[in-house]
Amino acid sequence: MMVKQICCIGAGYVGGPTCSVIALKCPDIKVVVTDKSEGRINAWNSNELPVYEPGLDEVVKECRGRNLFFTTDVDTAIRESDLIFISVNTPTKTFGFGKGRAADLRHIESVGRKIAEVAKNNKIVVEKSTVPVRAAESINSILRANTKPGVSFQVLSNPEFLAEGSAINDLLHPDRILIGGDQTEEGNRAVHALCSIYKHWIPENKILTMNTWSSELTKL
């Protein structure tokens, strides 16, 4: 599968810089970062970015309006994309079972329902947020339960390892890229599609592929 358009849901510390670097290194791919916060999107479209990282400003200025776009129109971004990064907050639960310890996945689950509601063709869905093991399975269940006939999804895990103050350097020169997916023909095709994006600037021997659980475990 050739990825021609990427959507990132969540324009925060991970989604914004990650997609800016992808846009820089993959000028043939349209990258759309979307967020429900109008203030945050307005900031990404201004000279006062909502995230400060050395080098980020230059990357955004080079790509914004060319193949990098920031919008609150989540539905259109999902509908037109081939691959969707989920990069929303996963705060610690403040109530119920696991309070104070477990990750609150409500935002991710809400995004899963939105993708299933809007998508009209097959999508690769990539979890970028910090999530517990089996989160991909949970996203898959939501997508399957809410999807339309004839539409299928492949859910991948692609954890981030960004350090504050060096995020752009970490994205441009990572120690490794981990991609986890289902060990099926369709899953392998989805993994290959994401690998081919990173291969625009990252040596192949630094891109490690594995099953979804193994990838999720690396962030524990």
Record the tokens describing residue 218, joined without a space: 């690396």
Question: What is the per-residue pLDDT across 61-97, written as a single tens digit (0 to 9) for each?
Answer: 999 999 999 999 999 999 999 999 999 865 444 444 4
CA-to-CA distance for 186 and 156, rounded, in angstroms? Answer: 11
Q: How many domains does the chain have?
A: 1
Position 128 scores a pLDDT of 86
Q: Residue 212: pLDDT band by 50, 70, 90 thresholds?
A: confident
Structural domain including 181 reads 5-219
Give the pLDDT of residue 140: 84
The CA-atom distances, in angstroms, between 138 and each of 65, 73, 84, 86 are 35, 25, 16, 13
Q: What is the CATH number of the domain that holds 70?
A: 3.40.50.720
pLDDT tens for 12-56 read 999 999 999 999 999 999 999 999 999 999 999 999 999 999 999
pTM of the model: 0.90
